[in-house]
C-alpha cells in the first residue's frame, strides 16, 4: 500500500473511531445492552487491532491468552516469559489488571497502541521481540468488569489463544467463546492444559474432532502435560513448543499475515455493525422525542382543567364566598362598600379594617387556588410517570429523578405568590373604601370568582383589571405546569445519543477500506 492510500486509510479508521465515541445508547430498551457491547467491541477492534498496524510498520503481534478461571493462563504466561510477570494463584479471580508483556525493543512501537487502554505494559527481558503477550482476566469471572475486559481483549487480539484444561475443555463457555472468536474472524489457537498421560489420547482426539466441526481444524493445538501439584513456573521444555511457535510467528513476520487475515475478516462485520448501530441510535433519538411528547401530553389535561376553573371563577366558591357574605353583610366591615355608601369621617378611620377584610377574602381565594394547583401538579406528575411506565424503554430511574425535582407545594406557593405580586404591582389606586392593597385584594377576589367581589369591582370600574388579573393567573398556572413538564423533558435533554448519520457515513467509507485492504 502506498503512503497516500495508507494515510487515507488511517484517516478513515480514525473518523470511524470518532463516530463510535460520539454515540451512545443510554435508554434501557430491548437490545440496547447488546448493541452497547457491539459498540465497545468495534472500538476495541479499531483502536487496538487495526489502527496500530496502519500507523506503524513494525508493531508487535498482539497475542492474548484467554480462557476460563483456573485454566492456568497466568502460569503459562509466566512460563513462556521465564519470569513471574503476572500474578498467579488459587484465588479467583487472580488476574484483575491485564498484564501486557513486551520485549524492551518493542517499547517505542507500542507507546501509542490502543491495547494500553486495557492493561499495563511490562517490559520483560525474556519476552519475544515482535510479540506482545497478554494475560487476560477470566472469561467466566465472577467480576463483571473482568469479563468485560476479557471480551475487549479478545476484540483487540491479532491472535487469540484459548487456554483450557482437560477437565473443562467441554464446558459450554469454552465452545461459545471459540464460536464467537471464529464468527468475528479472530485467528485462534488452543492450549489444552494439565492433560494427564492417561487422558492424552482420548482428550486430544475428541478436541480435534470438535474443532473440526467448528471450522477450526487449521487452528494450532498445543497440549501441556499435567505437572502435578507445583508452584511457580512450568519447566521450560513443557512450554517450549508453544514459545517456539510464537517465536516463529515473530521471526517470519507471520504476524503481519495474521493481522491482514483478521482485518479482512473483520471489516465486513464492522460495516454491518455500524449500520445496525446507526439504526439503534436513530431509534433511541426518536424514543426521546416521543417521550418528550408524552410528557407534554400528560400535563395538558390537568392544565386544561385548571384553565377552565380560572375561566369560570371556581376558586371563589365555598370558603371565599362564605367569607365575603360574612364580611360584607350588614354590620360587616365591607357593608358600606356593597351598599355604595361612602364612609364618613369616622368610618374612614376604619379603612385598615376594610383592607384586612378584603385581604382575608383574597387569602381564601388563594387557598382554594393552591389546593387546585397542587392537585393539578400531582395529576400531571402522575400522568407523565404512567405514560413513561407504559413505554418500551425502562425509564424507572429517570422518572424517579425527574419526579424528585418536582415539589408540588413549592411550585404552587411560588406561582400564587407571583400572581399576588402582579396584583399589588398593577398600580391599584385608593378609593373611598380601600387603599391600594385593599383594591388589589378586591380585584384578586373578583378574578378568583367571588360573585360579590365581581359585582363590587365592576361598579367601581375595575372590570378590565379583573380580566387582566384572571389572565395573569392563567399565565402563571401555565408556567407552573410547564415547570412540571420541563422537569421530565429536561431530564431527557441531558441524554445525548449522538449522530446516526455519522455512523452511516463511516459504514459507507468502510467499504472503501475493504477495497484498499484487498488491493494492499
Residues 116 and 110: their CA atoms lie apart, in Å, by 8
Q: What is residue 100's three-state secondary structure? A: strand
* Whether residue 358 sits in one domain with residue 457: yes
Return the percentage of the chain with pLDDT > 90, whole number: 48
Question: Is 283 a member of any domain?
Answer: no
Which residues have a Cβ under 8 Å from the Cβ of 260 and sit 6 or more positions away?
517, 520
Cis peptide before 467 (omega within 30 of 0): no
Grid coordinates given for 246 = 510464537
CA 90 from centroid of its chain's CA atoms? 37
Say what the pLDDT of residue 117 is: 87
The three state secondary structure string of 119-153 is CEEEECCCCCCCEEEEECCCCCCCCHHHHHHHHHH
Indicate which CATH number applies to the domain containing 129: 3.40.50.300
- Least confident range from 2-16, 68-82, 305-319: namely 2-16
* Whether residue 318 sits in one domain with residue 212: no
Say what the pLDDT of residue 279 is: 93
Tell me the pLDDT band of 284, cut-offs 50, 70 and 90: very high
* Whether residue 178 sits in one domain with residue 80: yes
CA 202 from centroid of its chain's CA atoms? 49
Range of the domain at 156: 59-252
Question: Is 232 a member of any domain?
Answer: yes
Q: Is 289 exposed, middle or buried (0-12, 13-18, 19+ CB in 10 A)?
A: exposed
Say what the pLDDT of residue 287 is: 94
Residues 24 and 61: their CA atoms lie apart, in Å, by 31
Strand order through the sheet with 99-102: 120-123, 99-102, 131-135, 61-67, 159-165, 187-195, 221-225
- Least confident range from 7-21, 248-262, 449-463, 483-497: namely 248-262
Q: Is 449 exposed, middle or buried (0-12, 13-18, 19+ CB in 10 A)?
A: buried
Question: For the segment 296-332, what is each residue's pLDDT rounded down to a tens digit?
Answer: 999 999 999 999 999 999 999 999 999 999 998 887 8
The three state secondary structure string of 199-263 is HHHHHHHHHHHHHHHCCCCCCCEEEEECCCCCCCCCCHHHHHHHHHHHHHHHHCCHHHHHHHHHH
Grid coordinates given for 24 = 451512545
Say what the pLDDT of residue 90 is: 46
* Whether residue 238 sits in one domain with residue 348: no
Tell me the pLDDT band of 1, cut-offs 50, 70 and 90: very low
* Whether residue 318 sits in one domain with residue 407: yes
> Using CA atoms in the order 306, 312, 313, 315, what is the torsion angle rounded to 10 degrees?
-40
Question: Is 239 a member of any domain?
Answer: yes
* Whether residue 296 sits in one domain with residue 242: no
Closest by CA position to 377, among listed 489, 485, 296? 485
Q: Is residue 347 pLDDT above 90, yes or no? A: no
Question: Is 102 a member of any domain?
Answer: yes
> Using CA atoms in the order 318, 322, 328, 330, what is the torsion angle rounded to 10 degrees?
150
Say what the pLDDT of residue 356 is: 93
Question: For the segment 460-490, what is each residue's pLDDT rounded down to a tens digit?
Answer: 999 999 999 999 999 999 999 999 999 999 9
Which of 34-66 are b and which e, b meaning 16 or more Cβ less than 10 Å from the residue's Cβ?
A: ebeebbebbbbbbbbbbbbbbeeeebbbbbbbb
Grid coordinates given for 253 = 513476520
Which secondary structure element, helix H or strand E, spans residue 65, and what is its range? Answer: strand 61-67
Q: What are phi and psi of 243, to 5 degrees?
A: -65, -40
Q: What is residue 58's three-state secondary structure? A: coil
**Overall number of domains in the chain:** 2
Residues 207 and 169: their CA atoms lie apart, in Å, by 8
Question: For the segment 408-419, what is each residue's pLDDT rounded down to a tens digit?
Answer: 999 999 999 999
Residues 394 and 382: their CA atoms lie apart, in Å, by 16
Question: Is 47 a member of any domain?
Answer: no
Q: What is residue 432's three-state secondary structure? A: coil
Question: Is 271 a member of any domain?
Answer: no
DSSP letters of 304-321? HHHHHHHHTTGGGTTHHH
Instruction: Out of 252, 283, 315, pick the residue that ends a domain.
Output: 252
* Whether residue 392 sits in one domain with residue 245: no
Question: Is 258 a member of any domain?
Answer: no
Which residues have a Cβ under 8 Å from the Cβ of 398 and sit 6 or more positions away?
388, 491, 492
Question: Is 1 a member of any domain?
Answer: no
* Whether residue 330 sits in one domain with residue 215: no
* Whether residue 347 sits in one domain with residue 240: no
Grid coordinates given for 23 = 454515540
* Strand-pair partners of 161: 65, 189
Q: What is residue 281's three-state secondary structure? A: helix
Grid coordinates given for 116 = 494500553
Which secondary structure element, helix H or strand E, spans residue 519, and what is its range? Answer: helix 500-519
Instruction: Out of 229, 252, 275, pick the residue that ends a domain.
Output: 252
Instruction: Out of 197, 228, 252, pick the residue that ends a domain.
Output: 252
Cβ-contact 154, 275 below 8 angstroms = no
* Whether residue 328 sits in one domain with residue 248: no
Say what the pLDDT of residue 256 is: 64
Q: Is 317 exposed, middle or buried (0-12, 13-18, 19+ CB in 10 A)?
A: middle
Q: Is residue 4 pLDDT above 50, yes or no? A: no
- Cα angle 274-266-253, degrees, rounded to a multiple of 5: 145
More confident residue, 204 or 410: 410
Listed as own residue / partner, the contacts of 385-391 with beta carbons closer than 8 Å and 24 or more positions apart are 386/298, 387/294, 387/295, 387/297, 387/298, 388/291, 388/294, 388/295, 388/488, 391/287, 391/290, 391/291, 391/294
Tell me the pLDDT band of 70, cut-offs 50, 70 and 90: confident
Residues 44 and 508: their CA atoms lie apart, in Å, by 20
Q: Is residue 5 pLDDT above 90, yes or no? A: no
pTM metric for this prediction = 0.71
* Whether residue 298 sits in one domain with residue 212: no
DSSP state at residue 23: -
* Whether residue 314 sits in one domain with residue 212: no
More confident residue, 337 or 482: 482
Amino acid at each position: 500500500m502506498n503512503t497516500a492510500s495508507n494515510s487515507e486509510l488511517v484517516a478513515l479508521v480514525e473518523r470511524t473511531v470518532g463516530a463510535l465515541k460520539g454515540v451512545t445508547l443510554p435508554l434501557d430498551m430491548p437490545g440496547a445492552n447488546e448493541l452497547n457491547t457491539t459498540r465497545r467491541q468495534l472500538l476495541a477492534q479499531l483502536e487496538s487491532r487495526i489502527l496500530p498496524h496502519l500507523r506503524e510498520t513494525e508493531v508487535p503481534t498482539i497475542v492474548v491468552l484467554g480462557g476460563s478461571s483456573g485454566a492456568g493462563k497466568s502460569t503459562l504466561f509466566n512460563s513462556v516469559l521465564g519470569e513471574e510477570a503476572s500474578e498467579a494463584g488459587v484465588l479467583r479471580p487472580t488476574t484483575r489488571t491485564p498484564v501486557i508483556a513486551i520485549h524492551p525493543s518493542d517499547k517505542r512501537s507500542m507507546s501509542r497502541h490502543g491495547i494500553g487502554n486495557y492493561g499495563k505494559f511490562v517490559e520483560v527481558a525474556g519476552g519475544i521481540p515482535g510479540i506482545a503477550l497478554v494475560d487476560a482476566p477470566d472469561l467466566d469471572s465472577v467480576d463483571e468488569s473482568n469479563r468485560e475486559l476479557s471480551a475487549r481483549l479478545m476484540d483487540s487480539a491479532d491472535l487469540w489463544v484459548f487456554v483450557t484444561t482437560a477437565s473443562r475443555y467441554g464446558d459450554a463457555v469454552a465452545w461459545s467463546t471459540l464460536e464467537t472468536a471464529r464468527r468475528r474472524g479472530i485467528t485462534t489457537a488452543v492450549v489444552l492444559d494439565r492433560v494427564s498421560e492417561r487422558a492424552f489420547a482420548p482428550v486430544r482426539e475428541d478436541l480435534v474432532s470438535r474443532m473440526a466441526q467448528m471450522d477450526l481444524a487449521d487452528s494450532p493445538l498445543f497440549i501441556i502435560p499435567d505437572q502435578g501439584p507445583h508452584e511457580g513456573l512450568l519447566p521450560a521444555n513443557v512450554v517450549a513448543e508453544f514459545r517456539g511457535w510464537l517465536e516463529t510467528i515473530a521471526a517470519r513476520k507471520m504476524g503481519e499475515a495474521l493481522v491482514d487475515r483478521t482485518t479482512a475478516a473483520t471489516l465486513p462485520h464492522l460495516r454491518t455493525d455500524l449500520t445496525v448501530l446507526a439504526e439503534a441510535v436513530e431509534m433511541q433519538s426518536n424514543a426521546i422525542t416521543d417521550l418528550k411528547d408524552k410528557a407534554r401530553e400528560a400535563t395538558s389535561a390537568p392544565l386544561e382543567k385548571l384553565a377552565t376553573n380560572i375561566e369560570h371563577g371556581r376558586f371563589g366558591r365555598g370558603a371565599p364566598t362564605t367569607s365575603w357574605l360574612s364580611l360584607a353583610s350588614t354590620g360587616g366591615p365591607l357593608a358600606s362598600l356593597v351598599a355604595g355608601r361612602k364612609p364618613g369621617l369616622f368610618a374612614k378611620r376604619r379603612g385598615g379594617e376594610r383592607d384586612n377584610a378584603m385581604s382575608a377574602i383574597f387569602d381564601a381565594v388563594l387557598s382554594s387556588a393552591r389546593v387546585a394547583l397542587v392537585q393539578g401538579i400531582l395529576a400531571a406528575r402522575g400522568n407523565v410517570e404512567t405514560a413513561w411506565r407504559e413505554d418500551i424503554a425502562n425509564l424507572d430511574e429517570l422518572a424517579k429523578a425527574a419526579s424528585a425535582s418536582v415539589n408540588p407545594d413549592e411550585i404552587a406557593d411560588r406561582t400564587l405568590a407571583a400572581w399576588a405580586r402582579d396584583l399589588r404591582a398593577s398600580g391599584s389606586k385608593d378609593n373611598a373604601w380601600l387603599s391600594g392593597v385593599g383594591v388589589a385584594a378586591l380585584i384578586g377576589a373578583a378574578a378568583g370568582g367571588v360573585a360579590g367581589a365581581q359585582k363590587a369591582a365592576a361598579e367601581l370600574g375595575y372590570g378590565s383589571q379583573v380580566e387582566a388579573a384572571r389572565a395573569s393567573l392563567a399565565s402563571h398556572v401555565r408556567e407552573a405546569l410547564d415547570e412540571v413538564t420541563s422537569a421530565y423533558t429536561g431530564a431527557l435533554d441531558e441524554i445525548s445519543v449522538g449522530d446516526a448519520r455519522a455512523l452511516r457515513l463511516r459504514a459507507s467509507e468502510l467499504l472503501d477500506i475493504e477495497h484498499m485492504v484487498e488491493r494492499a
